[in-house]
Structure 1
């Protein structure tokens, strides 16, 4: 188990993968049991387009199927995806909350203020879970939360523009399509990479803000790259191969 250094604030960068909350949509709109899940989800998507002109499911109707986090504790770093393919949403959430409660890290996510953090609160409410200490605070500077303020920019675009590898593409186009095809492992693997990319961009953001020196930035990136290089999973091997051809 990773142990935090005595003077270094831990960093936890997390990523989420979601699908339509079909059970929730059925509850709200009274669909009969014989209506296919795909039709239930499509109804909610069409309703959202009609109401707001936007694609995508409302936050409260997105169910989390994967949570990954990159955790930096002093001289150690590792990336984890909570649970396994059979772990339910409540247990996935609790695994993340336990990490935050245990290590009291600086917590960051990509476009977290607009997406990830409110989504976590909604799903915690639905599942009846207790948020980590201080997460209910409105002032993120006092709660250990440091979401990256780039909600309008795709994570993949910014990672590539900063010289880091592109994120893997989920076959079929969306997590929902992959999930329906039984490819949750593929979703979890991409979530892993998103958590690492978020951590790398968090380091770059701190470099830009002047809170992380150039030498420390390069050392931290090298530390992350070293961890990736020690992993045997195919998605990490692919990520490392792509990283070798970039400048990040």
Structure 2
């Protein structure tokens, strides 16, 4: 495995599609919003607002972060976002890593590629939609052994692992509001923090199962922090991630004894 792509989607309701389903004026967004209300839309009705992704490359000493970004519909169309992401998968044929990607992000990508009438063979460059494959690792599912009672939220797990977690004041429930009021870049920044948290959880998982030695894990963490530190002046939202992950105080004390 030469590359890993850690990814996350932020979405908003497809109000036009909601209107088509319910036979109302497709230009009446307010009516469509009333229909949606506070319900969690069916997956084909989630229009992709941005796709956050971190690309890391394997080396003899762990993983090297090569890129991090979250292109969004403020600059490009949804179709362009999906096509570019799928093309990158086709080029790299990486392992895909996500948190709840099997239950949400991957099906949404497939549905929205169809809505936009796209040819996106990169989504099938490897067995990303096969449950019993390591081509796509959904950490939410894997760590919980595919059981509902074992699952937790990314923010919760990140903080348990002494990682920064989500930024204060932002969560997925506010994405539609932020996009509607022109704050799409804040959504993209938030998406990137989710991607970085997911990557660091994956590194911890790789260490736990023996896929990384302690030295390779520490070097992988250092690559990430160096990558972020080099961009700290332009990306203050990533500042909490510019230090290596720590151990809880009690665990650190035990390790030193």
Normalising by the residue count of structure 1, what TM-score does the alignment of the two structures yield?
Answer: 0.82
Match of 2:105 among 91, 110, 116: 116
Asked if the contact 1:135–1:143 (Cα under 8 Å) also holds between the matched residues in 2, the reply is no
For this pair of structures, how many residues does the alignment match? Answer: 231
Deviations 1:116-174 (A, max 9, x none): 11111111121122231445665355572222125842211111111111222338951
Provide the C-alpha distance between the structure 2 equivalents of 1:217 and 1:137, rounded to a whole number of angstroms. 25
1:68 alignment partner in structure 2: 52
Question: SS of 1:77's equivalent?
Answer: strand
Asked if the contact 2:43–2:104 (Cα under 8 Å) also holds between the matched residues in 1, the reply is yes
CA RMSD of aligned residues (A): 2.6
1:225 alignment partner in structure 2: 225
Structure 1: 5+ residue stretches without partners? 1-7, 47-54
1:178 alignment partner in structure 2: 178
Instruction: Label 1:137 to 1:238 Cα distance change in 2 as closer, same or farther (>3 A).
Output: closer
Shift of 1:188: 0.8
Shift of 1:77: 2.4
Question: SS of 2:182's equivalent?
Answer: coil
Provide the C-alpha distance between the structure 2 equivalents of 1:27 and 1:136, rounded to a whole number of angstroms. 33
1:43 alignment partner in structure 2: 35
1:30 aligns with 2:30: no
Instruction: Label 1:243 to 1:156 Cα distance change in 2 as closer, same or farther (>3 A).
Output: farther
1:206 aligns with 2:199: no
Counterpart mapping for 1:1-248 below 5 A = 9-33=2-26, 35=28, 37-45=29-37, 55-74=39-58, 75-82=64-71, 85-129=74-118, 130-132=120-122, 133-135=124-126, 138-140=129-131, 144-148=135-139, 149=141, 152-168=151-167, 169-170=169-170, 174-232=174-232, 236-241=235-240, 244=243, 247=246
Shift of 1:237: 2.4
Asked if the contact 1:70–1:195 (Cα under 8 Å) also holds between the matched residues in 2, the reply is yes
Question: SS of 2:56's equivalent?
Answer: strand
Deviations 1:59-107 (A, max 9, x none): 1111100001000023442202235613111111111111111111111
Provide the C-alpha distance between the structure 2 equivalents of 1:113 and 1:155, rounded to a whole number of angstroms. 14
Provide the C-alpha distance between the structure 2 equivalents of 1:72 and 1:123, rounded to a whole number of angstroms. 26
Instruction: Label 1:233 to 1:69 Cα distance change in 2 as closer, same or farther (>3 A).
Output: farther
Shift of 1:42: 3.3
Structure 1 segments, 4+ long, off by >3 Å, are 133-138, 140-143, 241-246
Structure 2: 5+ residue stretches without partners? 59-63, 248-257
Shift of 1:190: 0.8
Shift of 1:23: 1.2
Normalising by the residue count of structure 2, what TM-score does the alignment of the two structures yield?
Answer: 0.79
Question: SS of 1:66's equivalent?
Answer: strand
